[in-house]
Amino acid sequence: MISATYLRGAIAHTIARARALVEIAQQSPALELRDLQRTCTTQLNEAVFNLAEAARLLDEKPEAAASVGRIYQTVTESIDRTETLGVFALKNQSDEDIDLNRLLNSICQEISFPLIPPTVSHTSQSYFEISPAFNLLRVPLIEGRFLLQLADLYHELCHPLLSPIGITNPKLDPLAQAFLSLKTARGRELDQARLRGDRRRAGPDHTHRYALWRRCWIETWMEEFICDAFGAFCAGPAYGWTHLHLCYRKSKPRFTVPIATLPSHPDDEARMSVILYVLKRRGFDPEADAIARAWTTFGSAPTAQQRAAFELCYPPDRLDAIAEAAIDAFGACGISGLPEQDQPLVGAAIQDAWSMFWNRPHEYDVWETKARAELQSNLS
């Protein structure tokens, strides 16, 4: 059993560490990072109080060392998470963080975003990602300097709307209800397909496949599809081009279905289907057709066997139903989609960027530098 002496020292040391992190978190003078400061400070203060209470319990009941040890491990894990996500972002803030936060706040105003806008930080080691618990959206080191990938900010903005933070807001009830209904329907469909196979004695591979697909759809895929619909709804055609661009950069195979692992994101072909449906429903038919034509040039056509398995996992009518339900839910929540005409400042800028990229690629880099600077000056 862990010794009380060790725990006393470990708790005292971790309290000192947490207090040092509080000091770092409170040093940022930037108003744009104030929400993240409050979140980190609150979580670290709570951790210090919990550790102090654990130390008091240990002094009163040394025989409770095992229970205190578990409390210590849980609180330490929370402190580590706050350090590596929130405090790290505050410690490594830059002028580019400030600029991108101003841009994101403008996006949130343009689309009538119903929650507190996230804080943005250039501290991601992979791609765009958001932590709803910290309301922190992280992007790669220099991403804020460019325009082409900015549409992916809209995708990330949708994740908090589907998280516990979002579902407590009554304004988002239509989206929460649609999300639950869509997951329930897809889970039921996969359960029924598995049972039909069991009756035909299709074998363990069949049972495993449908169980695996069900987990993927329920745990992460439905959320990702709705976030893609949100991106297309709010960022318009630029989001379709951004998805195409990212997929080509990553060079991932299309028309794939999981066999043994649980991928966090659905197949890119299925995601593009949802995106194109939303764009057409929103009146961007010419742009959707152009994206679809470009999309077909990436990769080879699937075999008949690949197509059959793909459509079992991603039924086209189910993808259409997801897009349709998401569009209706966004509207019911008061979220503003990108209009065809008289587009807002940021929304128009990212459409212009993709238009310039395709029509005058040799001039794009010079144009983008000027356009990004002009956009930022108009936000100030």
164 and 274 fall within a common domain: yes
Handedness of CA 29, 81, 175, 158 (dihedral sign): positive
Question: Does 152 fall in a domain?
Answer: no
Model pTM?
Answer: 0.94
Question: Does 151 fall in a domain?
Answer: no
Backbone angles phi, psi at 232, to 5 degrees: -70, -35
Question: Does 231 fall in a domain?
Answer: yes
Q: What is the pLDDT of residue 16?
A: 98
* Residue whose structure tokens are 């591979």: 205
Question: Does 103 fall in a domain?
Answer: yes
What is the number of domains present in the chain? 3
Q: What is the pLDDT of residue 197?
A: 72
71 and 131 fall within a common domain: no
CA 107 to chain centre: 16
Q: Residues 17-21: contacts with CB within 8 Å, 24+ apart? A: 17/79, 18/44, 18/47, 18/48, 18/51, 18/79, 19/44, 19/48, 21/79, 21/82, 21/83, 21/87
- Last-in-domain residue among 146, 170, 189: 146
Question: Does 379 fall in a domain?
Answer: no
Residue type, 242: T
Q: What is the pLDDT of residue 380?
A: 65
31 and 126 fall within a common domain: no
44 and 114 fall within a common domain: no
Cβ pair 355, 361 in contact under 8 A: no
Dist CA 51 CA 130 (whole Å): 28
Cβ pair 243, 268 in contact under 8 A: yes
111 and 179 fall within a common domain: no
278 and 195 fall within a common domain: yes
Cβ pair 166, 227 in contact under 8 A: no
140 and 184 fall within a common domain: no
Cβ pair 36, 134 in contact under 8 A: yes
* Residue whose structure tokens are 């005058």: 360
Question: Does 239 fall in a domain?
Answer: yes
Q: What is the pLDDT of residue 203?
A: 66
Dist CA 346 CA 32 (whole Å): 18
The segments of the chain whose pLDDT lies below 70 read 1, 198-199, 201-203, 380
Dist CA 205 CA 184 (whole Å): 24
* Nearest Cα to Cα of residue 131 among 83, 75, 74: 83
Question: Does 74 fall in a domain?
Answer: yes
Question: Does 164 fall in a domain?
Answer: yes
Q: What is the pLDDT of residue 289?
A: 98
Range of the domain at 253: 157-374
131 and 212 fall within a common domain: no
Secondary structure of residue 336 in the 3-state scheme:
coil
87 and 108 fall within a common domain: no
135 and 103 fall within a common domain: yes
222 and 369 fall within a common domain: yes
Dist CA 380 CA 377 (whole Å): 5
pLDDT tens digit sequence for 218-265: 999 999 999 999 999 999 999 999 999 999 998 888 899 999 899 999
Dist CA 100 CA 139 (whole Å): 10
99 and 178 fall within a common domain: no
Dist CA 37 CA 26 (whole Å): 6
